[in-house]
Amino acid sequence: MDIQIKNPGMPPFKVERPTKKNGIKWSFNAQKITDTFRAREGSITLPREIPAKQFAEVLFAESGKTAFRGYVEQYDIDNKRTKTLTIQGMEKQLEYRYTPDFFYPDGTTLSKIFTHAATINDPPGLLLIANGLVPPGREYTVRDVTNNTIRLTDAGTESRYSNRNLYYIDYKYLKELPTVHDIGELAYIDKTHFRNATDLYIRIDHDYSRSWMDHGGLICDGVNDTTIRLGTCPTGTLSGDLPIRAMEDNIADLITDLVTGHGYHMHWRDTAKYLYLDIDDVEGRS
């Protein structure tokens, strides 16, 4: 088994293949998903001098094929020579991702509900939300109360928000937030944004706009990327409206409830770059 570790902000490095002599040990398992969500887990015991840090990405591969991909949740120093890394599958991140206020209308396809892609004029997909929602409670100030322009500090072009695409949720549909090139243009162009090096300014001035940030209405594409993408998905549709309340359900549980509630099963498919969520009618391991 080949093992690769990538610490945050650093290039990846390979770990010596486990042998009895070097004392490196590894394990991981796949959890069978029934009606509750449980992420896959793994562990590695390494010499202490190997610089694996918390939140490092860990990839297991055999004969060039990815077998398991996760991140270091924590590590424990076993003795003077070794440490053990506790690894969670990438899907564990979905337990810490929450939803904004909106709803999925009757007849929405399952692929649109689960998608990671930005589908304009459709309800936002749960994986898009997981990867990019600016959560309710994010601090902001009102710059111009007459046209509802707000300012988010530390969200400019030199931040992790950078020049990522911005969207907002208009009650139930995803809408684009195009950029303007001068902050003065916000005074007369609605549903736009302006960025300088440090701050982000957004104008959304219509009936649903008041306190829209408090409801989790902003998505910055990939700013909190879980690297989880939708793979295969059946062609089913939602029966009845599904209201979603801000910060009420984590996305892991919501996806699980929707999948199992429609009579399907979830499977996790690892690749070197992404973890794919496959949904079908075949029961199996994650």
Predicted pLDDT of residue 249? 84
Domains of the chain: 2-93 (2.40.30), 102-220 (no CATH)
Q: Measured between alpha carbons, how far is 278 from 229 in angstroms, rounded to an integer?
A: 9
Instruction: Give per-residue pLDDT as tens, 12-32.
Output: 999 988 777 777 888 887 666
State the average pLDDT for the chain. 90
Predicted pLDDT of residue 34? 59
Instruction: Give per-residue pLDDT as tens, 201-245.
Output: 999 886 555 567 877 889 999 999 999 999 999 999 998 999 988
Instruction: Give per-residue pLDDT as tens, 1-15.
Output: 899 999 999 999 999
Q: Are 184 and 147 in contact (CB under 8 A)?
A: no
Instruction: Give per-residue pLDDT as tens, 139-197.
Output: 999 898 888 899 999 999 999 999 999 999 887 889 999 999 999 999 999 999 999 99
- pLDDT tier for residue 57 given thresholds of 50, 70 and 90: very high
Q: Measured between alpha carbons, how far is 56 from 58 in angstroms, rounded to an integer?
A: 6
- pLDDT of 198 higher than 60: yes
Of 69-83, 155-169, 268-282, the poorest mean pLDDT is in 69-83
Predicted pLDDT of residue 30? 67
CA torsion sign for 243, 259, 118, 144 is: positive
The residue among 22 and 73 whose pLDDT is bigger is 73
| Contact residues for 198 (Cβ-Cβ < 8 A; gap 6+) | 153, 154, 156, 158, 159
Predicted pLDDT of residue 212? 76
Q: Measured between alpha carbons, how far is 68 from 270 in angstroms, rounded to an integer?
A: 6
The residue among 31 and 273 whose pLDDT is bigger is 273
Q: Hey, what amino acid is at 116?
A: H
In terms of C-beta distances under 8 Å and separation of at least 24 residues, what long-range contacts does 46-51 make, across chains too? Answer: 46/15, 46/82, 46/83, 46/84, 46/85, 47/22, 47/23, 47/81, 47/82, 47/83, 48/77, 48/80, 48/81, 48/82, 48/83, 50/5, 50/15, 51/7
Q: What's the per-residue H, E or C state across 47-103? A: ECCCCCCCCCEEEEEECCEEEEEEEEEEEEECCCCEEEEEEEEHHHHHHHCECCCEE
